Structure formats: structure tokens, C-alpha cells
Structure 1
Amino acid sequence: MVDCPKERKPPRFPDFIQLIDMASESVGGKILFATDDFFAPAENLLKSDAPHFKEHEYTEFGKWMDGWETRWRRIPGHDWCIIKLGIQGIIRGFDVDISYFEGNYAPRMSIQAANYPEDKLPELPERGLRLGTAATAEEFEAISELKSENWNYLVPLAELQPGKRGSSHNYFPANVNQRWTHIRLNIFPDGGIARFRVYGTGQKNWTATDPKEALDLVTIASGGVCVGFSNSYFGHPNNIIGVGIAKSIADGWTTARRLDRPPVLERDENGILLVPGCEWAVFRLAHPGVITQIEIDTKYFKGNFPDNCQLDGCILTSQEEVDMIKQNWALPDHKWKLLLPATKLLPNQNNLFDSLTLELQDVITHARLTIVPDGGVSRLRLKGFPSSICLLWPREKPTSRFSVKPGFRTNL
């Protein structure tokens, strides 16, 4: 009798991969130094897309690889690189991806970190396009001023394990509640890594801001984060609080088309569609504050923008947020304070609105964006003024765990 195959359990992914990749080139991450870039440059580590493989492609130096790959070391020492984080803040974990590096991956690695003010950094030579090269004596001298060999270890020496050919992720948690600006990635002694992800949350120095200047209180660069949503079929809501202007429709939040729309659509006297359903996303602000201006950018969304939107805010403690995540944000309506009533949106442009809090002066910690009935948004900016109510949110505590919905990770 043939044995029935055993049911395989889905792989367990760490919660921290739901956070932003703070080192990605898409948020301004940058390679400052690498000991060697012979087969493939270190800049590939920070690409935002997944690595891929070109079977028959070669360069004058050897096999073309989509990652960072150093030469086969024949001198003492090991290889390493220095990365400036695009988003500076608290790191929760790392992904060292060695996909497609089957016979030439780095067998071991370690990760160090430092918090360097921008004005304290030495002047470093521009790297330019690198291939078939090693760091010069001038570059070694300049980078030595950082004394990076003495930086704090977030991940001590660890072995890397190959997995599936195109999916060889090695995850490492980080549990140091401190702000970091730079990373040193060590590989022992040499080899290749396809991608290097640094997951965490931004942390802004609010004491250094101008109290008269309205700031974006929800941006992911300062510590804003999506903590709940109804649908993310084509793009995660964290995208819309990302850095800079959206690069394409893929850089936004897009839902599936709602199936409960009536066969024939109608609208009311204000032009608002009469439909039963909606989609929503809840964001924890980077800092509690008063919202005075709202920007909802529908750039690139020409045939699939929402008909209208609404924005609400509330005050929650950290424990209340944890409870709401468990309850899928079934927060009583009276807890939400209206910041922007149901308002028509225009396609492919930045829609600007004044918040009702100009009159109400309500401080909020969380905001809920509702779009009707479905569609996509490229960016959300909530500009306003931070408040001392931040005592509600003790920042030294670890970020709360997320509830993971089906399809969540595949849409990150």
C-alpha cells in the first residue's frame, strides 16, 4: 500500500518582515563602502525587487549575478560593506537572502550597527559604477575614521543556510531598542549575497523640529506604520506612507474590485456613489498630534482611483492598539473623530484638503483612511503639529506584534 504524502505546513515567517525595509534603495539606502565588488557590486544588495537569475549571461569578470559577490579571497581577512540606512530608526530584524548563490554564497556573516549624526561623518569617495574592482587604499583610509570594527553587534557570527534556488532567506531578529543610522555587513571570508533587508520603524528626532512648521505625522520615515487594513490585493497600505513621490502604480495601495457593488451604479446629489461597501486602512502616527492638512495622492491611478474617501482619527494607548488588532479594528464609532467627511477624489493628482481639526484642535494617535468603494491611492500625507501627548506611547517598548491576514506577506 502506498503511503499518502504528509501535509506540509506553510513556512513560518517572522513578524518583522511586515515592517519597512530601512536599507532599500527605494527609501534612500546607500552603499558607502565595500572591500570588493569583483563579480557583482554591493549596490545590488539594496534593490527593492526580488533577485533573479540569467542562466547564460556573463561579464568580462565571470558569471553575472544579481547580488553582491566578492572575488575568491587569496589574502588574509574577510569582506565587508558599510550601508547608510535610508530610514533611520529602530531595527527589528534582518533578511540575508542568498537566492541563486548556490555554490558561491557567503557561508557566514555578522551584522553591526552605529548611530552617526550626519555632520560627524567623514568625507567618503563616491563609489560610482563598480565591477571587477576592490577598495583602494584611499577608500580604506577614509572609512577607517568610522572605526566600524567597534560598532555594536546586532547579529553575531552566524552561518547562512541555502534554501530553495530562488528563495533562500535567512532571518535574524534584532532586539536592541535604539536608533541606528548605519550598518556594517560582514561576510566570512568571501562570497555572495543576493539581497540584504533591514526591517524596522523610523524614528525622528522631534526635539530638533521647528514648532511652527507643519510636519507629515504619518510618514514611514518618521515612524508611522499601518496597523490594520481591509484589503491589499495589489499593494500594501504601508506603501502610501512611503518616502518621496510614488514611482508607479505598484508603489501604492490598491484593493481588489468589491463584488458587492450594485449592477448599476448611482450617485447622490453631491456626486457621491451610492454603494454599500468600502475599504479601509488604519495608521499609527509617528507622533501624536493635531492634523491640519490632508494630502491624498492618486498619481498613476487613472481608471481605478476611489470615488471618494473619508478620514477619521482617534486616541489609543499601546494596549488598546493591541486589542484592536486582535478585533480587526472593530472600534466603536464614537471613538473615531471625523477629520475629513466623505469627499470626492480626482484621478492621477494630489488631492489637498484642510482637516476639521483646525477648529476642533483634536490630538490623535491613529488615523483611518476609508476609500469608497475600492481602488488605489499612491500617497497619504497627514501634515500637522506634534503634541506632548506622546506619553501615551512609551517608545522604548518593542513594537506590538501584527495580526497577519491571508495574502498579507505576498502583497508586501
Structure 2
Amino acid sequence: MTAQHISPVATFTGDASPYGGGEPYADYRTADFPFTQYANLADRQLGAGVIAANDEFFAMRENLLLAHPAVFDPEHFGHKGKVMDGWETRRRRGVSGEHPWPTEDDHDWALVRLGAPGIIRGIVVDTAHFRGNYPQAVSVEGTSVDGSPTPEELCADDVKWTTLVPRTPVGGHAANGFAVDIEQRFTHLRVNQHPDGGIARLRVYGEVVADPKWLAALGTFDVVALEHGGQVEDASDRFYSPATNTIQPGRSRKMDDGWETRRRRDTGNDWIRYQLVQQSEIRAVEIDTAYLKGNSAGWAALSVRDGASGEWVEALPRTRLQPDTNHRFVLDAPVVGTHVRIDIFPDGGISRLRLFGSLTEDGAAKLAARHQELGG
């Protein structure tokens, strides 16, 4: 395996105090990690999964990717002991009474399939509620394997794993964050806890790098979709929910599954700026306000820019929106660009934005070159 540079961020070590009643998160340790601006590549909504683990005696591996914060019930016990909302393994033991301790190399592991392959910018190993039963240290490795490999295939000797997070001490009941600085495309992770213990949640933040052959085969597709490599560059407001929700797969399932801003008390408006997968020709637009019934945007307009320094060109003029409705627009003429901005008036929210089109010849060439450069 290959070691890589890890950028320093706020870290935590040591036990948290035993739970003493009241709000379980009152003494939870966390920090503002700069890489959380990126999408979570280990999101179940994108298709991520924990496909194997060597041990899940106390708590199931699938809990690692649950979207909601870990829950703690001090009175919930089962036949195997305390029921924890995370992945928890049994206590390791040595080989004999004379050597009852685990060896330096003993560890437990879980294999994670990312929902979309991409460049990883940061990882959070969350030990919420694991106060005295968290791992002493963690490490994370990544690999890129085409197709849908089995756990056995991923564990084969010929699979190359790159160290994303070297073995590092972590703290209990804390969000343990690690910035990653590796320009490489990954499809799977191996999360290790040394020597044993429990992890509540795993978050893997980064940029999607789609397969150019797949997009070429599709022809027409959503050129701003997160799963295809679109991303949010900036937004005027993220008060109630992240702007990245607007490019998630599928329709919104409830109000907070979209993007909603705080109420404006001025004469401005709210907006999101997106970067497309690459230069694309856009031919049709969907703006969905699903589940936003009393707080949807009143109007929306769409502008397109070609290149970082290009001029913004109106693609869709300011148009009235209806609550809880999917609006479809066929553009009078295709527009070409690399960036899109949606302006909503005056505030409120939308649940999804879809931009249907195809890569230009230049966009397809640049995506293929980047894919190859990143080891795809």
C-alpha cells in the first residue's frame, strides 16, 4: 500500500466521560471541517454500501452510512449487550493468559463501496456515543476496481490499496476528521479500527468523477447531477438544508430533502451556482419544488456561463413556480456552458434541478483526459 500526505485538521483523543443523563450530545466533540463543502460519496442515496466486515458482533456494519445522526438510548440492551447505533465489534483477546492483550497488528475492518467513484477530500470517522468502547486508532485505505467486485475480489492479493488515513489515534464520542490530499479516483474504501471497538458513522467527502464511457453511451443525461460529476460551487444561503440536495438522485422525499433558505427581509434574492460535469449542451430543464408547499420559491431564472471567466447568458427568464410541482421547460435553443446559476425570487426553496443535454466534443475530451489522469 502507498502512504499519502494527510492535511492537519482539528483532532480528538481519549475517552469521553461516561453518560450521566440528559442530552447525549451535550459533551460531543466536533469541529468545522473545511472539506464538508463537498458531497458525501458514501451516501446511501447515491448507492453507497458497507459490503462486508470481519466482525459485527454488537452492532451492524450498515449503521455506518445511515444519514441521520447516531441515536443513543441508555436503556436499550439486547441479548448480546448494549445496543449501539453504529458498527461495533467484540473485544479482541491475546493468545494466552500470559499474553491476554491483542497484538499490534490486530484490527477489525469493513469494506465500503462508494456511491459514486471520485476524488476524496476528507473523511469523518464519527464515534458518537462510543465513549469508552471506541477504537484506539483508525486507518482508512482506498482502491479503484471497475465493475461490481465481491468482497473476496477486493481482498485479493493483486488489489492495490492506497493509504488515505494512516493509523491515527481517535477520541471517543467525537467527530474525528481527516483531510485527504490525493489526486486519485477511488471506488471502494477499507475502514480499519485498531484493535477493535465501535464507530457510529462514516462520511466520505469528495468530488464525483464519472466514467466517460458510460456518459457517452447514455448520450442525453442530466449534466448537473451529482452522480454524473456535477457539483455546487456556492450558494447564497444554506440555513435549513444544503444546496447539494438539489442535484441528488431521485425526487425529493420530504421537505428537508431539498434546498430551503431563511426568510429574506430585504429586496435581494437567493441563488445557487453549479459546475457541470464538463462543457455541455443543455436542451431541457426541470425545476422541482416537491414537498415545498408554503415555502417554495415564487419565481426562478436560469443563467449559463462557459468557462470560469465567461459572461452569464440567460437560458430561462424569470418564470413563475408552483408549490410542490415539477416544472419542465424545453429551451428555445440549446445553450453551451460549464457553469449554471439558478436564481430564486425572493427566497424559499427548490427540491431538485435537472439539466438535460450532452457533453460537447471538447467536454467529452476533457472528461476522458481527467478520468485517465486520475487512474480511471
What TM-score, normalized by structure 2, do the two folds share?
0.82
Pairwise CA distance, 1:234:
1.1
The answer (yes or no) to whether the contact 1:70–1:190 under 8 Å persists in 2 is yes
CA contact (8 A) 1:104 1:192 kept: yes
Q: Aligned equivalents of 2:134 and 2:61: distance in 1?
A: 14
Rounded to whole Å, the distance in 2 between the matches of 1:303 and 1:230 is: 20
Cα 1:210–1:171 shift into 2, 3 Å? same
Cα distance in 1 for partners of 2:366, 2:215 equals 20
Alpha-carbon separation, structure 1, partners of 2:254 and 2:190: 31
Distance 1:224 1:110 in 2: 29
Task: Give the count of matched residue pairs.
Answer: 332
- Map of 1:156 onto structure 2: 166
Amino acid at match of 1:28: G
Distance 1:97 1:79, change over 3 A: same
Query: Tell me, what secondary structure is at the counterpart of 2:272?
Result: strand
Query: Structure 1: which amino acid aligns with 2:92?
Result: R
Q: For the residues of structure 2 that align with 1:149 and 1:59, how far apart are their CA atoms?
A: 38
In the other structure, the counterpart of 2:134 is 105
Q: Determine if contact 1:148/1:184 at 8 Å carries over to the other structure.
A: no
1:3-402 equivalence runs, <5 A: 13-74=32-93, 77-118=106-147, 121-122=149-150, 142=152, 146-147=156-157, 150-162=160-172, 165=173, 168-210=174-216, 213-260=219-266, 276-317=267-308, 320=309, 335-358=311-334, 362-390=335-363, 395=370
More displaced, 237-246 or 194-203?
237-246
Post-superposition shift, 1:144?
A: 6.5
Question: What residue identity is the alignment partner of 2:360?
Answer: S
Q: Which residue in the other structure is 1:408 paired with? A: none
Task: Label 1:103 to 1:149 Cα distance change in 2 as closer, same or farther (>3 A).
Answer: farther
Bigger strand fraction = 2
Separation in 1, partners of 2:65, 2:287 = 28
* 8 A contact 2:280–2:336 mirrored in 1: yes
Q: Which amino acid aligns with 1:18?
A: Q
Tell me the distance in 2 between the aligned counterparts of 1:101 and 1:212: 45
Q: State the distance in 1 between where 2:333 and 2:125 align.
A: 44
Q: For 2:327, what is the secondary structure of its paired residue? A: strand
> Distance in 1 between the 2:325 and 2:203 partners?
32
**Other structure's SS at 1:355 match:** strand
State the Cα deviation string for residues 314-358 of structure 1 (Å, max 9, x = none): 0223xx5xxxxxxxxxxxxx9211111111112212111112442
- What one-letter code is carried by the residue in structure 2 that aligns with 1:379? R
- Determine the C-alpha separation between the residues in 1 that align with 2:44 and 2:216: 28
Task: Please list every run of 5 or more consecutive structure 1 residues that lacks an aligned counterpart in the other structure.
Answer: 1-9, 125-141, 261-275, 321-333, 399-412
State the Cα distance separating 1:11 from its structure 2 match. Answer: 7.5
Which consecutive aligned stretches of 4+ in structure 1 deviate over 6 angstroms post-superposition?
Answer: 391-394
The structural deviation recorded for 1:27 is: 2.1
Higher deviation after alignment, 186-195 or 21-30 = 21-30
Once residues 24 and 231 of structure 1 are traced to their aligned partners in structure 2, the CA distance between those partners, rounded to angstroms, is: 22
Once residues 212 and 148 of structure 1 are traced to their aligned partners in structure 2, the CA distance between those partners, rounded to angstroms, is 32
Is the 1:36–1:70 contact (alpha carbons within 8 Å) kept by the matching residues of 2?
A: yes
The match for 2:16 is none
Q: Taking structure 1 as the reference length, what is the TM-score of the superposition?
A: 0.75
Aligned-residue identity in percent: 36
Q: Which residue of 1 aligns with 2:99?
A: none
CA–CA distance in structure 1, aligned partners of residues 129 and 45 of structure 2: 23
Amino acid paired to 2:78: T
CA contact (8 A) 1:26 1:47 kept: no
Question: Deviations for 1:125-177, whole angstroms, at most 9, x for unmatched residues?
Answer: xxxxxxxxxxxxxxxxx467544885221112111123xx4xx1111122221
CA distance in 1, matches of 2:189, 2:111: 6
Q: What RMSD, in angstroms, separates the aligned Cα atoms of the two structures? A: 2.4
